[in-house]
């Protein structure tokens, strides 16, 4: 860990606090999973221990918690303080929450992705809250001259049990800050929790409904200008020439110039229009006349992409990723073999808040403000690209109006930085919806060839090959390796039961930029794997849910299946009703769905109800889980039945929500959500609820109609 001479007084000034305070921090060493508790008292400052994430309690008793992760709707802004407040014994609604700046040397990974915020840090946050509480308790017992065991913490006070005397935390911070941090802390049992596990109202909800929340688009700094960039609609095209005469005549336009930047392993070129308002920048951009050079590279088409997938899956074995036994000899024996091709499309992130970023380049210093999922990544990237000291790149997070992986990319902060450098001042670059949908990066389209055999009611061979762009190939040294997410979404418990199973990746490349999308490859893998399991169940003559029960022997999964069966009325299914199920695993959690469909008066298939069972182990707030599952269902419904990104002659064809249609409120099905209770470690919530919906839906449609859907998206109204 690097060190920095940081006085306690300076720390308090920098964190906008006043008076003496008890400050505790923890850091995540890059090479370790466990956090270490640090004492931020004057003694700690003298030993040059750099502060990282922390709790601060000032002399008035005000508690401040710095959140090291982004809030993009998933609930981190509530979850982090709810965890800390439980062990700290404070009133949650009175806690002050601030976003921490980007710096993974202080905070460890700050990337908000992989549903990792709670599962990666909850034990450390609990310990942090408990440590502060114990130090305050010791300070109070010393002040009273009583036994520490006769004192307890409640609602921001230490209370002497025999007499009822009490101190609020602010009255104890001076003494507590001088104490040695206790090494052995006893955490509460879950049965004693008063905040964790309770459906508490989120603290960011009022801010987002009364307009007080600051999103990236809301942020303003003195002297800031605004920019919009006309980028080549073909993803690798160059600027041949441009005429900015009309653009410069638009009132408010200040400057027009070429912007060139790296995006993955190629360059992206565009014309930046800088103005004194977003509107003027947009109007100036419309007045540009640009001639593009689109020669020298492939102009891809969606039909060609998926045709090539099919061809290579028929002729190549690919790179083996994971194999147990050998399914090939069994598949060659003949018998009741199933050989199916599943295909899933490219998707856009289509966040509610379009991309935007403020940059202020100042020669030897750069400051960024905006909706950013990975502030530490942006800090690392821009310090290298701009040749700046890492500590001189300051990245400030705002609230995000959705992210889904897109706002973890570095292109839009980098572009804003280049424009700021060119104009010599701060600038906010705002993308339009069309920019976002045309430029990507996108969720990759993926195809799967699934082969399998059943014998005696069980799977005897299971073989999957996938073909699609590999996000691992962000790094050139990963080329030639199998997709590391080839089994994402497939339950680990299957490997304990299946004797002959293999997964392989058949490499496929196009120039289309791709990246993570909510639940990453589990969103596509899950559809193929769980649909194919349904086909195998049918071939075995088994009930689909019972078929999974036979192959998933882990007790947690047995309990989840029991719950699914009970809440959905699976065993009492009626004629003219279609029921489908799917169970997937990703980011440490299991999600099981049952979807019920029927035909309406117009003889069209409709979704009657969705039952979702989430097993994420230790959890913070059941209301947050329900909200994330409901959101996952709607997002998965859109991706399965309504929208996709297609390419023609190298152009993304979706331009806005009039061509990239989103689910409407009338499309939203009834969703009943159940959260499993167990003693397992915390898993993720924001992403694991998405993958099982599409296969559960298509399996239900097969149950109702006998039609097997293997290609997404499909038109629900025409099944």
Q: Is residue 684 over pLDDT 90? A: yes
Give CA–CA dist 10/83, Å, rounded: 28
Chain position carrying tokens 């030897």: 364
Band of residue 287 on the pLDDT scale cut at 50, 70, 90: very high
| pLDDT bracket for residue 184 (50, 70, 90) | confident
Predicted TM-score (pTM) of the model is 0.92
**Residue-level pLDDT at 358:** 98
Is pLDDT above 50 for 18?
A: no
CB 610 within 8 A of CB 593: yes
Q: Kindly calculate the radius of gyration of the chain based on its CA atoms and give it in whole angstroms.
A: 28
Q: How confident is the model at residue 66 (pLDDT cuts 50, 70, 90)?
A: confident
CA distance 43 to 23: 12
Which of 631, 572, 556, 568 is closest to 594 using CA atoms? 568
pLDDT of residue 551: 97
Nearest to 606 by CA among 562, 669, 660, 655: 669
Task: Check pLDDT > 60 for residue 19.
Answer: no
What was the pLDDT predicted at 21? 59
Q: For the ranges 8-22, 248-262, 582-596, 618-632, which has the lowest average pLDDT?
A: 8-22
Q: Which residue ranges form the domains of the chain, and what is each CATH number?
A: 8-209 (3.30.365.10), 216-296+355-430 (3.30.365.10), 316-346+443-718 (3.30.365.10)
Closest CA to 24 of 155, 124, 145, 104: 124
Tell me if residue 583 falls in helix, strand or coil: strand
Rounded CA separation 43/135 (Å): 15
Cα(705)–Cα(160) distance, integer angstroms: 69
Cβ 84 vs Cβ 356: under 8 Å? no
Q: Which of 553, 501, 537 is nearest to 699 (CA)?
A: 537
The answer, yes or no, to whether residue 334 has pLDDT greater than 90, is: no
Q: What pLDDT, on the 0 to 100 scale, is given for residue 40?
A: 40
As a whole number, the mean pLDDT across the chain is 91
Distance, in Å, from the CA atom of 110 to the CA atom of 87, rounded to the nearest integer, reads 23
pLDDT number for residue 29: 40
Task: Indicate whether 87 pLDDT > 70.
Answer: yes
Encoded tokens for 92: 């949650």
Sign of dihedral through CA atoms 568, 571, 577, 581?
positive
Write down how long the chain is. 719
Q: pLDDT at residue 131 above 50?
A: yes
Instruction: Specify the pLDDT at position 660.
Output: 96
Q: What is the DSSP string of 425-443?
A: S-EEEE--HHHHHHH--BB
Flag whether pLDDT at 12 surpasses 60: no
Q: What is the pLDDT of residues 524-583, one digit of tens each?
A: 999 999 999 999 999 999 999 999 999 999 999 999 999 999 999 999 999 999 999 999
Cα distances (angstroms) measured from residue 308 to each of 304, 319, 590: 6, 17, 33
- State the alpha helices, DSSP H only, in 486-543: 492-497, 522-540
Angle of helix 522-540 versus helix 693-705 axis, rounded to 10: 30
Residue 23: predicted pLDDT? 66
Q: Which residues contact 399 (CB under 8 A, 6 or more apart)?
A: 71, 72, 77, 204, 207, 208, 213, 214, 215, 216, 371
Phi, psi of 568 (to 5 degrees): -90, -10
- Residues with Cβ within 8 Å of 334's Cβ and at least 6 positions away in sequence, in order, are none
Taking the CA atoms of residue 451, residue 456, residue 457 and residue 460 in that order, the dihedral angle to the nearest 10 degrees is: -30
At residue 59, the pLDDT reads 85
User: Per-residue pLDDT averaged across 278-301, rounded?
Assistant: 95
Nearest to 597 by CA among 696, 672, 527: 696
pLDDT tens profile 195-223: 999 999 999 999 999 999 999 999 999 99
Give the confidence band of 49 by pLDDT, cuts at 50, 70, 90: very low
Q: What is the pLDDT of residue 473?
A: 83
In the three-class reduction of DSSP (H, G, I as helix; E, B as strand; rest coil), residue 348 is classed as coil
Q: How many CB atoms lie within 10 A of CB 175?
A: 18
Integer Cα distance of 179 and 39 in angstroms? 9
Determine the average pLDDT of the residues in 235-261: 96
pLDDT value of position 682: 97
Contact 22, 7 (CB under 8 A): no
What is the predicted pLDDT for the residue at 10?
41
Using the predicted structure, report yes or no on whether residue 475 has a pLDDT greater than 90.
no
Q: Which residue, among 177, 170, 168, has the nearest Cα to 25 in the 3D structure?
A: 177
Q: Greatest CA separation found in the chain?
A: 84
Q: Name the pairing type of β-strands 53-58 and 21-27.
A: antiparallel
- pLDDT attached to residue 128: 87
- The whole-number pLDDT of residue 48 equals 25
Mean pLDDT of 470-497: 90
Q: What's residue 464's pLDDT? A: 98
Q: What is the pLDDT of residues 587-621, one digit of tens each?
A: 999 999 999 999 999 999 999 999 999 999 999 99
Angle of helix 522-540 relative to helix 544-551, nearest 10 degrees? 100
> Average pLDDT of 487-507?
97
Per-residue pLDDT band at 31 (split at 50, 70, 90): very low
Q: Is 541 exposed, middle or buried (0-12, 13-18, 19+ CB in 10 A)?
A: exposed
Give residue 699's pLDDT. Answer: 98
Reduced to 3 states (helix: H, G, I; strand: E, B; else coil), residue 655 is: coil
d(CA 226, CA 298): 34
More confident of the two residues 104 and 168: 168
> What pLDDT is stored for residue 201 in this prediction?
92
pLDDT tens figures, 359-416: 999 999 999 999 999 999 999 999 999 999 999 999 999 999 999 999 999 999 999 9
Pick the range with the lowest mean pLDDT from 118-132, 214-228, 636-650, 694-708. Answer: 118-132
Q: Which stretch of DSSP H or E encloses residue 274?
A: strand 266-275
Closest CA to 394 of 425, 421, 424, 361: 361
Q: Which two tokens stand for residue 45?
A: 């400052």
Alpha carbons 90 and 608: distance in angstroms, whole number: 43
Residue 107 has pLDDT above 90, yes or no: no
């Amino acid at each position: 860990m690097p060190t920095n001479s940081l006085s306690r007084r300076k720390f308090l000034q920098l964190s906008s606090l006043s008076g003496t305070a008890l400050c505790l921090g923890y850091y995540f060493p890059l090479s370790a999973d466990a956090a270490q508790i640090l004492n931020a008292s004057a003694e700690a400052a003298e030993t040059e221990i750099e502060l990282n994430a922390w709790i601060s309690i000032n002399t008035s008793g005000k508690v401040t918690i710095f959140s090291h992760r982004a809030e993009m709707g998933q609930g981190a802004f509530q979850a982090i303080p709810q965890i800390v407040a439980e062990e700290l014994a404070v009133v949650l609604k009175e806690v002050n929450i601030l976003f921490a700046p980007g710096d993974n040397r202080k905070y460890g990974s700050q990337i908000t992705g992989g549903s990792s915020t709670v599962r990666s840090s909850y034990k450390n946050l609990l310990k942090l809250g408990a440590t502060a509480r114990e130090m305050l308790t010791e300070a109070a017992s010393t002040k009273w001259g009583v036994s520490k065991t006769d004192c307890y913490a409640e609602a921001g006070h230490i209370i002497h049990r025999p007499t009822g005397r009490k101190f609020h935390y602010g009255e104890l911070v001076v003494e507590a800050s001088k104490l040695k941090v206790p090494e052995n802390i006893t955490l509460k049992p879950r049965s004693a929790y008063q905040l964790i596990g309770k459906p508490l109202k989120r603290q960011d909800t009022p801010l987002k409904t009364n307009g007080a929340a600051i999103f990236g688009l809301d942020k303003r700094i003195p002297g800031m200008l605004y920019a919009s960039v006309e980028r080549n609609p073909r993803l690798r095209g160059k600027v041949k020439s441009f005429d900015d005469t009309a653009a410069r005549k638009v009132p408010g336009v200040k400057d027009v110039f070429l912007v060139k930047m790296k995006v993955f392993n190629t360059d992206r070129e565009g014309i930046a229009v800088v103005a004194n308002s977003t509107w003027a920048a947009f109007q100036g951009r419309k007045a540009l006349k640009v001639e593009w050079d689109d020669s020298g590279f492939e102009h891809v088409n969606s039909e060609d992409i998926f045709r090539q997938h099919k061809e290579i899956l028929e002729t190549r074995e690919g790179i083996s990723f994971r194999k147990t036994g050998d399914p090939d000899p069994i598949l060659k024996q003949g018998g009741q073999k199933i050989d199916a091709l599943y295909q899933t499309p490219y998707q856009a992130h289509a966040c509610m808040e379009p991309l935007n970023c403020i940059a202020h380049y100042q020669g030897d210093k750069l400051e960024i403000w905006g909706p950013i999922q990975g502030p530490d990544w942006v800090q690392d990237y821009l310090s290298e690209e701009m040749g700046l000291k890492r500590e001189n790149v300051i990245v400030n997070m705002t609230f995000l109006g959705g992210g889904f992986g897109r706002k973890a990319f570095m292109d839009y902060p980098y572009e804003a930085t280049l424009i700021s450098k060119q104009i010599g001042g701060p600038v906010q670059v705002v993308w339009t919806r069309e920019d976002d949908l045309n430029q990507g990066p996108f969720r990759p389209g993926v195809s799967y060839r699934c082969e399998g055999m059943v014998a005696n009611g069980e799977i005897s061979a299971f073989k999957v090959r996938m073909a699609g762009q590999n996000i691992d190939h962000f790094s050139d040294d990963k080329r030639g390796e199998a997709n590391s997410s080839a089994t994402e979404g497939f339950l680990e418990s299957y490997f304990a039961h299946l004797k002959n199973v293999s997964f392989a990746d058949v490499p496929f490349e196009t120039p289309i930029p791709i990246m993570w999308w909510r639940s990453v490859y589990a969103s596509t893998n899950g559809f193929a794997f769980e649909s194919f399991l349904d086909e195998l169940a049918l071939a075995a003559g088994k009930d689909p849910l019972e078929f999974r029960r036979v192959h998933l022997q882990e007790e947690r999964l047995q309990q989840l299946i029991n719950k699914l069966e009970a809440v959905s009325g699976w065993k009492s299914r009626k004629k003219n009703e279609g029921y489908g199920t799917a169970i997937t695993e990703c980011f440490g959690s299991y999600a099981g769905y049952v979807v019920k469909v029927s035909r309406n008066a117009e003889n069209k298939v409709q979704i009657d109800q969705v039952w979702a069972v989430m097993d994420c182990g230790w959890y913070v707030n059941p209301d947050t889980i329900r909200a994330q599952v409901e959101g996952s269902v709607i997002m998965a419904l859109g991706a399965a039945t309504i929208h996709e990104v297609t390419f023609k002659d190298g152009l993304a064809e979706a331009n806005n929500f009039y061509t990239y249609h989103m689910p409407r409120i009338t499309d939203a099905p009834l969703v009943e959500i159940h959260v499993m209770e167990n003693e397992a470690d915390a898993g993720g919530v924001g992403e694991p609820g998405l993958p099982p919906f599409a296969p559960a839906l298509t399996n239900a449609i097969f149950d109702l109609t006998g039609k097997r859907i293997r290609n997404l998206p499909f038109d629900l109204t025409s099944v």
